[in-house]
Amino acid sequence: MTPTARHLRWLAPLALAAPALGQAQPGPAVAPERVERPEGVAPSAQNNALEREITPELDQAVTRGLAALARVQNTDGSFGDSRWGRSVAITSLACLAFMSDGHLPGRGTYGDIVIRGLDFVLQNASENGLVAAESANGPMYGHGFASLFLGEIYGMTQGQDEARDGRIHEALVKAVRLIQQTQNDEGGWRYNPVPYDADVSVTICQIMALRSARNAGLEVPRDTIDRAVEYVRRCQNPDGGFKYQLSGGPSAWPRSAAGVATFYYAGIYKDEAIDRGIDYLMTAAFPTRTDPNRAHYFYGHYYAVQAVYLAGGERWARWWPEIRRQLLQMQNPDGTWPDATVGDAYGTAMALIVLQMPKRYLPIFQK
């Protein structure tokens, strides 16, 4: 299975300009650069666990949630229902949810689930680099999440299976190259793989993918990251939140969480824009002030918990117990988390990623 002609037509101009990609060879894992914590920056939660971060109630909820998510995997390895079709984005997020508990190919109860999900994602990786299923609308969202998943699994499993390493590496190299080529003049990305437009929401997906690939040993040009950071910086409003596009508009907490996360994943840990953004999130997005029934709830808290985790200190100490409590209360009796917009597989995957943040398994969530 490959992306349809509807997706590939966007890539025709890029195919002419792209350099030939030779036989991909897996490279050695490369640890991310050590970044010293600047003076005045609170230590992140990475090496500063709270007392009782992980409770028996959380463990029970995760166990039920992972079992429920495994039950809804489709026969081709994908996740997603009739509303959005079989989606590389939801599949990638579901696999990341299992990986957050240490389940990897050849390891853990759900290692086979991850392998099947990986096969689905790789089957939907085109020669041009786009990773998108046939049903995808706005494929750069899915491409960003899929590239993040490929970067994480490649970084965590290199050396275990040479053939699988080669497949992942080749798809990831092409996916990263596509991201680089489709960055627009403003420095961001939008729904389709063409460099014509940008928004904060799609841009953070690509930034996380690039950071994951870089952590796994792939080369990512610094200029690509710098231009993206400058784009997001220009999208910040005076109240500390972020507008959707440069053309203007009010702040909203889900995209503001994404905006703050952009700086962290670009390797910036001390910046006035971060301070203002975190202050905005503590007011506008604190779990007790967000409605689980509103659209973008899971999307927003997926990024918000990352931002506050990396901010650390008192903010993490206040935030974590509240989002944990809220998500545990929301879980359905069958182990899933409801999402009326995208579907319960998506809601369950996102809730599990958030709840397992303190396990500190995924490299992407570390400084």
Element spanning 50, H or E: none
Specify whether the CB–CB gap between 244 and 199 falls below 8 A: yes
What pLDDT tens digit does each residue of the chain (367 aa) get? 444 444 444 444 444 333 333 333 333 333 333 334 445 555 666 656 677 899 999 999 999 999 999 999 999 999 988 676 789 999 999 999 999 999 999 999 999 999 999 999 999 999 999 999 876 678 999 999 999 999 999 999 999 999 999 999 999 999 999 999 999 999 999 999 999 999 999 999 999 999 999 999 999 999 999 999 999 999 999 999 999 999 999 999 999 999 999 999 999 999 999 999 999 999 999 999 999 999 999 999 999 999 999 999 999 999 999 999 999 999 999 999 999 999 999 999 999 999 999 999 999 988 7
- pLDDT at residue 33, rounded to an integer: 38
- pLDDT at residue 218, rounded to an integer: 96
Burial 210-243 (b: 16+ CB within 10 A, else e): bbbbbbbbbebeeebbebbbebbbebbbeebbbb
- Under the phi-then-psi rule, with left for phi > 0, alpha for psi from -120 to 50, and beta for the rest, what region is 81? beta
pTM of structure: 0.88
Tokens of 206: 């690509």
- Under the phi-then-psi rule, with left for phi > 0, alpha for psi from -120 to 50, and beta for the rest, what region is 267? left
- pLDDT at residue 303, rounded to an integer: 97
Tokens of 23: 């036989």
CA 105 to chain CA centroid, nearest Å = 20
- pLDDT at residue 82, rounded to an integer: 67
Tokens of 81: 């229902």
Nearest 5°: CA angle at 344, between 142 and 281? 70
- pLDDT at residue 112, rounded to an integer: 98
Domain 71-365 classification at class level: mainly alpha
Per DSSP, the residues of 305-349 read HHHHHHH-HHHHHHHHHHHHHHHHHH--TTS----TTT-HHHHHH
- pLDDT at residue 25, rounded to an integer: 36
